[in-house]
Structure 1
Amino acid sequence: MSEYREPAAAGDVIRLDSVSKTYRAGAPPALARVSLRVGTGEAVAIMGPSGSGKSTLLNLLAGLDRPSSGTVTVAGQRIDALGESALARFRAQHIGIVFQFFNLLDDLTVLDNVLLPAQLAGVPRRLASRRAEQLLERTGIARRWDAHPARLSGGQRQRVAIARALVNSPRLLLADEPTGALDTATGQEVGALLRELNAEGQSLVLVTHDPQLAERQRARVVRIVDGQVEGAGQAVAR
């Protein structure tokens, strides 16, 4: 399969250039010479079979892993070239991550879970609290602000996770199977919330096995097979 390169654009929030990732010497690469562009405000769904490299790609975009070769640029910053502390600061300020299984801290309340990234980024408590309260209203979970995650439904926990991911007003929102742990109706509600956020200008990249979720997001689909981008990605009209 030949390497696919998309044309660069001035408004790119993501730019990958010839990115490869190998975890063990002699093993096939998890990603091989992937080049990809995602525009500011765009929604992109990363799809492909299990083991195709989707999670590796998401981890590279989040700065949770580093490429073996190539460059990863997010919001104008080459994150593969940053040291660990600078990378952690950049991620806290510019990247929000929503996980399949929520990753909330059970000993913290809903509000404190949402506030945590802002506290780690050094945002003043008053400003962070105002932002967190707005997001809890926006995601429909404000009435449970003082509850602990164990007392919430799966859909409520994912709404808290989305609010937490947005508290620092990130340039990029990454979602890893955001509806995978939810029932169909609740998954559709969470998907609708993500769609609304993207319609308001939030750049969104999600990994999903669900083509209906990608279609509802009106996302451009990027398919990964054996660590490589297959074709140019299918653009879905907005």
Structure 2
Amino acid sequence: MPVIELRGVCRRYDAGPPALDDVTLTVEPGEAVAVLGPSGSGKSTLLNLVAGLDRPDAGTVTVAGVRLDGLGEAASARYRRAHVGMVFQFFNLLDDLTVTDNVVLPALLAGTSRTEAHRRCAALLESLGLARHAAAYPGRLSGGQRQRVAVARALMNRPTLLLADEPTGALDSASGEDVSRLLTELNAEGQTLILVTHDEILAARCATRTVRIVDGRVHSDEPSAAARPSAGAVR
């Protein structure tokens, strides 16, 4: 069964052209798909539909066997907790919480015991080279370290799907390479990844497949030859 299946999806926000226009797309388990396109092409709309943050005007969106297009707000939130981890360009960490508290939060909201949440957090931070920063606050970390914390938080509930929205857009080149290497390692271990980006180099490094969207439609859908390093991260 595909992890993601969009059939005839349309989304329109105003009287102008549709943000997405009759999009049909499937993503299989373990794929790393880079979604590229110019600003306004529909990339973010696609990501929001898959995350259950938006609904199509027409067509169906199914992720991990769940039909999203008919879900209410509460059911959409439950879906995200169970199946989706999200990494954003500007980290979206809570500055008044420590690294540990940021990372364990999704698990606690999902009903995981505090003991198990902290055990899982410790393993993730160790794997991602952040163990010595467990008690630090995000404002004391570099951009690359903060993005690693965001990845740890996204992986906390062992998501079916990891969504990354311009994950290196706010980073310097060295930190960006570090994060792209991490995403590649996670995918090599089986994590399904959707990467929305303007960065052709990032897409070439991380993706096993590249989908280009132009004016709300899928313009091309091609396999890529991204390198796969040896596994080293925790899932």
Return the alpha-carbon distance in structure 2 between the equivalents of residues 18 and 193 of structure 1: 33
User: What residue is the counterpart of 1:57 in the other structure?
Assistant: 46
CA RMSD of aligned residues (A): 0.9
* 1:124 Cα deviation after fit: 1.1
Which runs of 4 or more aligned residues in structure 1 lie more than 4 Å from their structure 2 counterparts after TM superposition? Answer: none
Q: Take 1:91 and 1:181, find their aligned partners in 2: how far apart are those partners?
A: 25
Q: What amino acid does structure 1 have at the position aligned with 2:53? A: L
Alpha-carbon offset, residue 219 of structure 1: 2.6
Aligned AA for 2:225?
A
Instruction: Tell me what 1:123 maps to.
Output: 112
Partners in 2 of 1:80 and 1:151 — Cα distance? 40
For residues 162-177 of structure 1, the aligned pairs below 5 Å read 162-177=151-166
State yes or no: 1:16 paired with 2:6.
Answer: yes
**Partner of 2:112: helix, strand, or coil?**
coil
CA shift, 1:237, in A, is: 3.5
Consecutive unaligned residues in structure 1, runs of 5 or more = 1-9
Residue 79 of structure 1 deviates from its aligned partner by: 1.4
| Consecutive unaligned residues in structure 2, runs of 5 or more | 227-235
Superposed displacement of residue 127, structure 1: 1.1
- Match 1:114 to one of 91, 103, 111: 103
Alignment partner of 1:179 out of 155, 168, 179: 168
CA distance in 1, matches of 2:126, 2:54: 33
The TM-score, its normalising length taken from structure 1, stands at 0.93
Amino acid at match of 2:118: S
Match of 2:224 in 1: 236
Contact map agreement 2:53 2:76 (CA 8 A) in 1:
no
2: CA distance, partners of 1:122 / 1:82: 21
Counterpart contact for 2:204–2:225, Cα < 8 Å: no
> How far 1:136 sits from its partner (Å)?
0.8
Shift of 1:75: 0.6
Matched, 1:138 2:159: no
Give the TM-score taking structure 2 as reference length. 0.94
One-letter amino acid matched to 1:184:
S
Q: Percent identity?
A: 65
Moved more, 159-168 or 131-140: 131-140
Between the aligned partners of 1:63 and 1:194, the Cα distance in structure 2 is 22
Aligned-partner SS, 2:34: strand
1:104, 1:237 → 2: CA distance? 33
- Which whole-Å CA distance do the structure 2 matches of 1:86 and 1:157 have between them? 30
